[in-house]
Amino acid sequence: MTDLEARVSELVSQMTLEEKVAQMAGNTPLQGEYGVELWNVPGVERLGVPPFKMSDGPRGVGVGTGRTAFPVAMARAASWNPELERRVGEAMGAELAAIGGNVLLAPAMNNLRHPSWGRSQETYGEDVHLLARMGVAAVQGIQTHVLANPKHFAANSIEDTRFEVNVTVDERSLREIYLAHFRSAVLEGGAASIMSAYNSVNGQFCGENITLLRRILKEEWGFDGFVLSDFVFGTHPDSARNGLDIEMPFPVEFASLLDQVESGALPEEVVDESVTRMVRKKLEYRLDEPPSVDESVIESDEHLAIAREAVTEGAVLLKNVDAALPIDRDSLSRIAVVGALADAVNIGDTGSSSVRPSFVVTPIEGIRDALGESVAIEHIDSDMLDAADLSSLATADAVVVVTGLTEEDEGEAIIGAGDRVDLDLPQEREQLIVDAASVNDRVIVVLEGGGAITMQDWLADPEAVLMVWYPGQMGGHAIADLLFGDLSPSGKLPFTVPKSLDQLPPFDNVSLEVEYGYFHGYRYLDRRGFTPEFPFGFGLGYTSFAVSDLRVSRSQAGAGETVTFSVDVENTGPVAGGEVVQLYVSYPDSEVERAERELKGFAKVVLEPGERRTVRIDIPIDSLAYYDSDRSEWILEALEYMVHGGTSSRDLPLSVTLSVDSEAIAR
């Protein structure tokens, strides 16, 4: 036993049953205004065991005001830059530590099974590998200062029925598509805690799901941290027994724990195990010591700079014809900025992930700041254009239409808008784009939102479309950085943008029984042979890149090994910019049903014009395994695997083979 474990068990042995049970539930009263103070979970003062003090969430510290509002997680996923996400996590963790918190209720890492999910913006997209890379980075960053809490475990991808819906999912899909990234967050990221989900999986609520919590998370993965319930409705009669350690934010089911133990209905060992897990993390993370940062880190210049960088790295240029972007400031005399969102604070939904910064730079403010006095800026603060507006737009050098979705269109259920029923923009916003484009041939759409937006009715009209997500408090400045070419966009879509809803699997947020299968997102479209509007991994910039010469460190490998792939990338265009080299694996001759191709590695590189670099990407061979539910093992097939390289899931000009000679059990 290590010294730490010995100290933990000594402390737990000194606690009374009452003291132990009290640590298994929050004791924070529900606030009138949602989430205005840190959620508290008591420790044991007489033994020097500190409480947990928790706050949401995925886009910054939700408690209080004046915290840095980062762009939403989906925006950061689109950066395909885990190193940046690590810094974002570290900044959030520091801000929480500075106000006395020690558990950040983030990252949200549910797989975006369908873009209608109201909380799309809080997660990292539709692909397990990207989810894992960003989730691990967030966890590691956050845990420089406080404990992270990956959520919502598991298969939580519908909002409107989230408290009741039962997700039926076969074992292989569950393992490969809905759990694999959580496994990475635990095993690689070292997540100290996990939040269970509200919904049921295979007939048992996640908050009392013995398969998920005990067998898989705690026993199989060896997770040594603690699990808390999702709030208020996430705990059930068998929760404690089946592996849930803390009921949040106050005891309801767990109010009877003391009686249950005293009457012999619940073994005291169950309580001891939960408390051991919590005390272990309290000691490991030295939660009894004062934080190493003070309040000066909150909304500091450094954090605001990271927030701004996250917007420019994650913005995805979807369309750019006739050199509409970037706009050369020097050749402008009059620019029009149009739309009700141009001067709106639109930084994400009103649910638990809300952050209240002390200021927000709106797009028009950012544009004004970047252009100064030399350019006339016409601001039409409306989604409806009248005849006078149109004739004035007709003579502008460029028209920037700021539009998209808001907290009224998507968000967390009950405290926010919930799921989306269709993926179009609201009708008047589509009309705004079409109208502007009917009078001016340099219309640039700056699009805000947290998930896929279908664009069939208007995409042909404007010259450029730049997806900026919910860009956080520095959004306006970052948008201006991109519009005027100070930086080139380098984001890539973390999900597929379909042409229409019928290119996607069904989304049912009414029934209380739904079934999830193996295929969604690009895997689903690839399988059906559908051509999306924009494929997973797609994004343009102001320069061009050539990728060539995909090679592999060895052409043969086995379980447990890691193979390094190299690709040459050259910036063949006029300005500096970033490109994301993506590697997808396909499985010709596999004995089992596989996706046509799957992302297994990527790397982002920033190059000056004319610069050429060799990018190296590691793929652990075990990540090519599938889950065999009969054997309950990850099986690495003996196959000639094909590895495809390029710059989106549908632009993969390079390929190389990698062979695994004998079948093996992978980990």
Query: Is there binding between residue 151 and ligand BGC (CB under 6 A)?
Result: yes
Query: Is there binding between residue 230 and ligand BGC (CB under 6 A)?
Result: yes
DSSP string covering 387-425, please? HHHHHHHHTSSEEEEEEE--TTTS-STTTS----SS-BP
Q: How many CB atoms lie within 10 A of CB 591?
A: 12
CB of 38 or CB of 493, closer to ligand BGC: 38
Catalytic annotation on 259?
no
CB of 153 or CB of 231, closer to ligand BGC: 231
Shortest separation between residue 198's beta carbon and ligand BGC, angstroms: 7
Candidates 43, 51, 57, 577; binder of ligand BGC (CB under 6 A) is 57
Both tokens assigned to 152: 């919502």
Alpha helices in 285-386 (DSSP H): 301-314, 363-371
Q: Which residue's Cβ has the minimum distance to ligand BGC?
A: 352
Shortest separation between residue 37's beta carbon and ligand BGC, angstroms: 12
Helices 363-371 and 475-483: crossing angle in degrees, nearest 10, is 50
Query: Is there binding between residue 56 and ligand BGC (CB under 6 A)?
Result: yes
Both tokens assigned to 574: 């006029």
Query: Is there binding between residue 231 and ligand BGC (CB under 6 A)?
Result: yes
Name residue, tokens 């890492």.
109
CB of 57 or CB of 450, closer to ligand BGC: 57
Q: What mask of x and - would describe binding to ligand BGC in positions 176 to 215, judged by CB under 6 A?
A: ----------------------------------------
Q: What mask of x and - would describe binding to ligand BGC in positions 345 to 364, judged by CB under 6 A?
A: -------x------------
Residues 6+ apart with CB under 8 A from 92: 60, 61, 68, 70, 104, 106, 141, 142
Query: Is there binding between residue 85 and ligand BGC (CB under 6 A)?
Result: no
Is the distance from CB of 22 to CB of 261 less than 8 angstroms? no
Q: What mask of x and - would describe binding to ligand BGC in positions 9 to 38, judged by CB under 6 A?
A: --------------------------x---
CB of 163 or CB of 530, closer to ligand BGC: 163
End-to-end Cα separation, the chain, in angstroms: 26
DSSP string covering 539-558, please? -B-SS-EEEEEEEES-SB--
Is the distance from CB of 600 to CB of 650 less than 8 angstroms? no
Shortest separation between residue 234's beta carbon and ligand BGC, angstroms: 8
H or E element that contains 571 = strand 562-571
Query: Is there binding between residue 157 and ligand BGC (CB under 6 A)?
Result: no
CB of 194 or CB of 336, closer to ligand BGC: 194
Shortest separation between residue 197's beta carbon and ligand BGC, angstroms: 8
CB of 35 or CB of 326, closer to ligand BGC: 35
Shortest separation between residue 253's beta carbon and ligand BGC, angstroms: 16
Name residue, tokens 């494929």.
535
Shortest separation between residue 109's beta carbon and ligand BGC, angstroms: 11
d(CA 229, CA 530): 39
Shortest separation between residue 139's beta carbon and ligand BGC, angstroms: 15
For 630, list phi and psi in degrees, rounded to 5. Answer: -70, -40
Residues 6+ apart with CB under 8 A from 625: 559, 634, 635, 636, 637, 666
Of 127, 160, 230, 409, the catalytic one is: 230
Alpha helices in 485-538 (DSSP H): 521-528
CB of 232 or CB of 576, closer to ligand BGC: 232
Shortest separation between residue 195's beta carbon and ligand BGC, angstroms: 6
Q: What mask of x and - would describe binding to ligand BGC in positions 35 to 54, judged by CB under 6 A?
A: x-------------------
Query: Is there binding between residue 383 and ligand BGC (CB under 6 A)?
Result: no
Question: How many residues of this chain bind ligand BGC (CB under 6 A)?
Answer: 8
DSSP string covering 220-231, please? IS---SEEEPPT
Tell which positions 459-488 bind ligand BGC, by CB under 6 A: none
List the beta strands (DSSP E) in 144-197. 147-148, 166-169, 193-195
Shortest separation between residue 151's beta carbon and ligand BGC, angstroms: 6
Count the helices and strands in the chain (H runs, E runs).
17, 26
For 656, list phi and psi in degrees, rounded to 5. Answer: -155, 155
CB of 23 or CB of 352, closer to ligand BGC: 352
CB of 125 or CB of 351, closer to ligand BGC: 351
Distance (Å) of CA 555 to CA 33, 233, 305, 558, 643: 59, 51, 43, 10, 11
Candidates 61, 98, 103, 105; binder of ligand BGC (CB under 6 A) is 105
Question: Which positions touch ligand BGC (CB under 6 A)?
Answer: 35, 56-57, 105, 151, 230-231, 352
Catalytic positions: 230
